[in-house]
Amino acid sequence: MVPVTYYLTLSALMFTLGIVGVVIRRNAIVVFMCIELMLNAVNLSFVALSRLVGNLDGQIAVFFVMVVAAAEAAVGLAIIISLFRSAKSVETSDANQLNG
Amino acid sequence: MTTVGLKDIALSSPVLLIGGGSLLMLLVDVFMGKREWPRAFLAMAILLVALISLGVFYPPFQAGVMAFNGFVYADVFSWLITLLVLFGTMLTVLIGMNVLEQEGIESPGEYYSLLFMATAGAIVFATAAELVTLFIGLETMSMALYCLCGAALRSRRSSESALKYFLLGSFSSAIMLYGIALLYGITGTTLIEPIAEALSRTDTVLAHCSLALILIGFVFKIGAVPFHFWAPDVYEGAPTPVTAFMACVIKTSAVGAALRVLWVGFGGQVLFWSGTIWYVAVLTMILANLVALRQRSLKRMLAYSSIAHAGYMMMGFLSRGTQYDGGAAILYYLVVYTILTVGAFSVVLAVTAKHSANPHSDDISRFYGLAERNPFLALSMAVFMLGLAGIPPGMAGLLGKFYLFSAAVKANYVGLAIVGVLCSAVSAYYYLRVIVAMYFRESDGAEKFELLEPSVALGSVLTLCVIGAVFLGIFPSALYESAAAAMVHF
């Protein structure tokens, strides 16, 4: 059996990759994908930890997180499309109309 | 085996009514097609029913009541926060009533529906006693808000603010969720009170990591330094009624939720988080007040002001317990802050609504000579600015700050209180500048930008906010005592 720590390490790595992606990428869709990666890393943690502590709460939480991630995808892409209509770009560096 | 009964439904009736109301608005909108119908009246009716249900179904001042098998708090603190959230939403509906089209919002039915979704989420977020429920509330609230920020579909600035809020907001939520997952791994539960119990037995480095991650999420939602950078852009780009909603309702519910998680869930780790909160509070107060000094856009200025006020409220986080009364001070401050901020944004709305497409519509020069052009707007703005600055005769704001600072002093954070006093002295400059612009400057071409003729709804909000600010300044004890009573049973 694969030990739980392996899953937790993988999940921490995925989460870190997600953070790095959000920080260094400028394309709104890629940034958004990185956020989804972070959510899925958390899901993996939840499932692995659920195994570790021996109750099912963590696995139930995953269902909720999946619903949230799906809703976020819908809302996020809609917002990106609405910006694309006016700015003709999905680069976050082109979202520069609001600067004090 | 536990079940959900009528009592749980009754205790959560405000959330259920608001959530149902949100769907009802959409449904009626679909059936009415392109025809006009009095959406705002239905919205107000739903809010009134929710307020009545809050009054009828809640047990009066009872300690430790919970609903849904201990997943939701239904105590006095929750009651007050829910009341304040509903009140804030009501003011938002009223000020937005006749200006949605001018603000570029083309589908008012969806606007009200999303507004109610955000309200329902805000109430769940603030009253949750379980971290996954808390997260769902947070996301319901945030996702509706991302859409609301972009509700002016043809405006690039609005879409941009939605995108910024969305990317940074979901980033911070994901970080918070990772904290929740780790905490679950350490304690084996996601309920706040059992977590506190489990943490008192095993206080590990991992627990501190998860606390730090959850704190990042809260600091972001409250809008405090170092995670405040989204606020000015989002506040500026979003339609003004949405900005007012964000400034009051979101802050209220995030502060409520953070208090619950920090004081109850991490009550045993005070030594660890109080240092962090101390730095956050000091940095927030100093930075926000200094940056606000050089803002010309009133919406940005009010955004920085709301960040600064978040800093003052963070001070109360450190004065835990009944002997320090930090909680009562925070509750009092939240009420005063809601009234003053919504009031200030409604004046900004009246000045900018007819030119909302123009990026300079909320420049301070547009307020030059406002006292001559519309004395009512200018006078109420003066009351709100004095209140936010906390200078007499703006007694409500002054007392709010006094309660917070004295709570900090009682808890032995004298240095923090001194920083707070100095910062509010600095803040007087940018608040008074608005009054100077309105009363002592020639209108200088500002008169060619037409003001919105305040409708009955907007006028009544302004009157209500002015009366509220004056009343709370003269008779603070009624509110402060009930806030203190709420904190006894916290």
pLDDT at B323: 67
Residue of A nearest to B150 (CA): A79
pLDDT at B218: 95
Question: For residue A79, what are the domain limits?
Answer: 26-91
Q: Is residue A82 part of a domain?
A: yes
Q: How far is CA B12 from the centre of its chain?
A: 21
Separation in Å, CA of B449 to nearest CA in chain A:
22
Q: Is residue A57 part of a domain?
A: yes
CA–CA separation, B309 and A26 (whole Å): 32
Among partner residues B156, B167, B189, which is closest to A86 by beta-carbon distance?
B156
Can you say whether the dihedral through the CA atoms of B18, B22, B25, B31 is positive or negative?
A: negative
Cβ <8 Å between B171 and A22: yes
pLDDT at B60: 63
Q: Is residue A85 part of a domain?
A: yes
The answer to whether the beta carbons of residues B237 and B273 sit under 8 Å apart is no
The answer to whether the beta carbons of residues B360 and A97 sit under 8 Å apart is no
Nearest C-alpha neighbor of B252 from the set B338, B171, B161 = B338
Interface predicted TM-score (ipTM) over 0.85? yes
Tokens 């500026």 belong to B236
CA–CA separation, B420 and B408 (whole Å): 10
The SS3 call for residue B107 is coil
The SS3 call for residue B172 is helix
- Domain with A80 in it: what CATH number? 1.10.287.3510
pLDDT at B485: 82
Cβ <8 Å between B181 and A61: yes
Residue of A nearest to B149 (CA): A79
pLDDT at B61: 62
CA–CA separation, B361 and B331 (whole Å): 34
**What are phi and psi for residue B141, nearest 5 degrees?**
-65, -50
DSSP, residue by residue, B411-473: TT-HHHHHHHHHHHHHHHHHHHHHHHHHHHS--TTGGGSPPP---HHHHHHHHHHHHHHHHHH
Q: Does B325 touch chain A (CB under 8 A)?
A: no
The SS3 call for residue B202 is coil
> Strand pairing of B72-73 and B66-67?
antiparallel
Q: Is residue A96 part of a domain?
A: no
Among partner residues A39, A53, A80, which is closest to B188 by beta-carbon distance?
A53
Q: Taking all residues of chain A, what is their mean pLDDT, rounded to a whole number?
A: 92
Cβ count near A88 (within 10 Å): 8
The answer to whether the beta carbons of residues B340 and B397 sit under 8 Å apart is yes
CA–CA separation, B19 and B27 (whole Å): 13
Q: Is residue A7 part of a domain?
A: no
Which one-letter DSSP state was computed for residue B250?
A: I
Q: Has residue A98 got a pLDDT over 80?
A: no
Separation in Å, CA of B233 to nearest CA in chain A:
6
pLDDT at A93: 81
Q: Is residue A47 part of a domain?
A: yes
The residue ranking higher by pLDDT, B447 or A46, is A46
Q: Which residues of B touch A54 (CB under 8 A)?
A: 188
Cβ <8 Å between B177 and A97: no
Nearest C-alpha neighbor of B318 from the set B369, B363, B273, B255 = B273
Q: Is residue A75 part of a domain?
A: yes
CA–CA separation, B459 and A61 (whole Å): 46
Q: Is residue A15 part of a domain?
A: no
Tokens 């004056």 belong to B470
pLDDT at B6: 86
pLDDT at B359: 83
Cβ <8 Å between B170 and A76: yes
Residue of B nearest to A30 (CA): B167
Q: Would you state the structure tokens that stand for residue A79, as one six-digit string?
A: 């917002």
Cβ <8 Å between A83 and B162: yes
Q: What is the full per-residue pLDDT of chain B (490 aa) written as tens digits?
A: 577 888 888 888 999 999 999 999 999 999 987 788 889 999 999 999 999 999 888 766 666 788 888 899 988 889 999 999 999 999 999 999 888 888 888 889 999 999 999 999 999 999 999 999 999 999 999 999 999 999 998 888 999 999 999 999 999 999 999 999 999 999 999 999 999 999 988 878 889 999 999 999 999 999 998 899 999 999 999 999 999 999 999 999 999 999 999 999 998 888 889 999 999 999 999 999 999 999 999 999 999 999 999 999 999 999 886 666 889 999 999 999 999 999 999 999 999 988 888 888 888 888 998 998 899 999 999 999 999 998 887 889 999 999 999 999 998 899 999 999 999 999 999 999 999 999 998 877 777 788 888 788 999 999 999 999 999 999 998 889 888 888 877 7
CA–CA separation, B338 and B91 (whole Å): 10
Separation in Å, CA of A66 to nearest CA in chain B:
11
Q: Which residues of A touch B164 (CB under 8 A)?
A: 95, 98
Q: Does B110 touch chain A (CB under 8 A)?
A: no
As for how many domains chain A has, the answer is: 1
Q: Does B237 touch chain A (CB under 8 A)?
A: yes
Nearest C-alpha neighbor of B14 from the set B64, B83, B61 = B83
Q: Does B437 touch chain A (CB under 8 A)?
A: no
Q: Does B184 touch chain A (CB under 8 A)?
A: yes
